[in-house]
Structures are given as structure tokens and as C-alpha cells.
Amino acid sequence: MISLNEAQAKAAAAYNAASDLFDHPANTFWNRFGQSTIDRLDLKLGSSVLDVCCGTGASALPAAAQVGLSGQVIGIDLAEKLLELARTKAGNNNLNNVEFRVGDMLATGFPDASFDAVVCVFGIFFVPDIPAAIRELWRVLRPGGKLAITTWGPDFFEPANTAFWNAVRDVRPDLYKEFNPWDRISEPSTLNEVLVEGGVLKSSIAAESAVHAIASPDDWWTTLLGSGYRGTIDQMDSDAIDYVRRASLAFIADARLQDVQANVIYAVAEKP
């Protein structure tokens, strides 16, 4: 099994590299599902919110807008380049009640019961020990506060996902993945299991069937470069990248794909 330090280093490297295209219009799913997660919390004015694995602020910025100037949002992430983008976006939107800093969801450094809400969108699966991460997030949540965890559902980015990995296997079989980290919790039942193991005994879990639109084959490649796939792509030489790119784009074009699956699972739990 991959060690914690290795998992964190790989995630940070992948998303720092992806920062150049992370907020590209082809990658609207970050903002879409970040906003949807915040909408499920019914945040009150003056609330304090911690957003872990915050990226460029897809959930932290809408949270800051909802809690108002009397509230506070802190976003933490391992990828400094994503945080730089988040700070710029916060400034452009005159959101002065949000702060972004490098931080680890397994050791946030905050005292017990520090926040009215804790949010983690598309990030909880990056650590080998998911229940340990949940225990830390639950620890810093105040009684009566809400924890929101959003993760990918089954068949993430299919059918184009499989075409990408098949092309990778052709040129770099050592990089081929049959299993993605989010696969561990891609069903409501498996997400509930890790929540319970992490001390969250009762939660509301909802599965949402969704798709992500692909305007063109080139947009699909942009999505790959502006997401966690970048970590794999950047390990290949130029010839291998060219092969995978051509194979991926040909698949989109030949299949006339206009979207890929982007199913999501939302979990919200109120702390007793």
C-alpha cells in the first residue's frame, strides 16, 4: 500500500501541475459540485467554515459569500499553486472573509470544536486511511455543526476514462491504473462505512446521477490536464503523451461523445 507521505506528495504534485488549466471553462465541474455541496449546508450568517482540499475555492468561495462579512472561511490544501489561484479569485470577488493556506486534512492544527461547518469536496479519498481523515474533520466541528463530504460516484468520466487508461497501458503499462482512489467510496454504502468507522454514526447520503459536457475532443484533453490525470500524464515522455492524446481525442471523436459520466455522492452529517 502506498504510504501517507507518498500519497500526499503525489496529490500535491499532480494538482500543482494541473493548476494552469484547473479553472479552464472545460472544467466547470469543480464549481458546479462545490456550489451544490455548499447549498446542502444552509450556512448561516456569521458561521465559521473549514474547507479541506479546497483547490481554487470551488466550495470555499460560495461558503464565504453565504456566511457574510461576520463569518469566516478557511480553505486548506496541499497544492500551493491552487491556493494562489483561490486567493486571486477571492480578491476579484471582494471576499475578505476567506483565507487560504497550505494544510493537511489529517492534522489541521485547529483546536477541538473550532468550526460551524467542515467541508471536503473531491478530496477525502486521497489519503490511504479515510476514517482517520474523517475523525480529524469531525474533531474540529462544533456540536450542532455540519460535516459535508462530496465524492465521485461510480463510472467516473466513463466511457472516456477507460479509453484514456487503455492508451496509457499501451505505452506505459507501469502507470496503468485499474483502480482509482475514489473507487473505495463510490457507493453510498461504502461511503457510509468509512463515515461510521471515522465516528460519524448518522449521516444523510444522497447519490446524484450527472454528466459533464464535452464540447470537443480538445476540451476533453484540457479536462485531463486540469485534473488529477495530470499526475500520470506528466510522468510520460513527449512521444507517449502524444500517443495517449491522439488515442483519447480519437475515441471522443469516433464515439461522438458529448458528455461523460460525472456521478456524485453527497454526505452531510450534523454533530450531536
Residues contacting 216, CB < 8 A, separation 6+? 252
CA distance 160 to 240: 18
Of the CA atoms within 13 Å of residue 47, those in its CB half-sphere come to 25
According to the model, what pLDDT value does residue 1 have? 58
CATH code for position 140: 3.40.50.150
Residue 171 maps to a domain = no
pLDDT band at 180 (very low <50, low <70, confident <90, very high): confident
- Provide the grid cell at 89: 479569485
Give start and end residues of each alpha helix (H) in 2-159.
4-18, 29-39, 60-67, 80-92, 130-139
Residue 191 maps to a domain = yes
Handedness of CA 213, 216, 221, 223 (dihedral sign): negative
Residue 239 maps to a domain = no
pLDDT band at 254 (very low <50, low <70, confident <90, very high): very high
CA distances to 31, 45, 103, 115, 224 from 100, rounded to whole Å, are 17, 20, 9, 15, 25
pLDDT, mean over the chain: 96
- Residue pLDDT, tens place only, 51-88: 999 999 999 999 999 999 999 999 999 999 999 999 99
pLDDT band at 179 (very low <50, low <70, confident <90, very high): confident
- Provide the grid cell at 142: 462544533
pLDDT band at 5 (very low <50, low <70, confident <90, very high): confident
Residue 29 maps to a domain = yes
- pLDDT > 80? residue 132: yes
Closest residue by Cα to residue 229 from 175, 148, 173, 151: 175
Mean per-residue pLDDT, 230-236: 96
Residue 139 maps to a domain = yes
CA distance 253 to 160: 11
CA distance 268 to 82: 25
What's the pTM value of the predicted model, to 2 decimals? 0.95
Q: Taking a C-beta distance cutoff of 8 angstroms, is the pair 173, 261 a contact?
A: no
- Continuous segment of H or E residues that includes residue 145: strand 141-152
Residue 232 maps to a domain = no
Mean per-residue pLDDT, 242-265: 98
Classify 269 in phi/psi space as left (phi over 0), alpha (psi -120 to 50) or beta. Answer: beta
pLDDT band at 2 (very low <50, low <70, confident <90, very high): low
According to the model, what pLDDT value does residue 112 have? 98
Give percent of the chain with pLDDT exceeding 90: 93
CA distance 190 to 122: 15
| Structural domains counted in the chain | 1
Closest residue by Cα to residue 224 from 207, 236, 239, 206: 236
Residue 219 maps to a domain = no
State the residue range of the domain holding 196: 4-157+179-213+263-270
- pLDDT > 80? residue 3: no
According to the model, what pLDDT value does residue 8 have? 85
- Alpha-carbon Rg for the chain in angstroms: 18
- Residue pLDDT, tens place only, 84-113: 999 999 999 999 999 999 999 999 999 999
- Provide the grid cell at 147: 460535516
Q: With 0-12 CB in 10 A as exposed, 13-18 as middle and 19+ as buried, what is 200?
A: buried
Residue 61 maps to a domain = yes
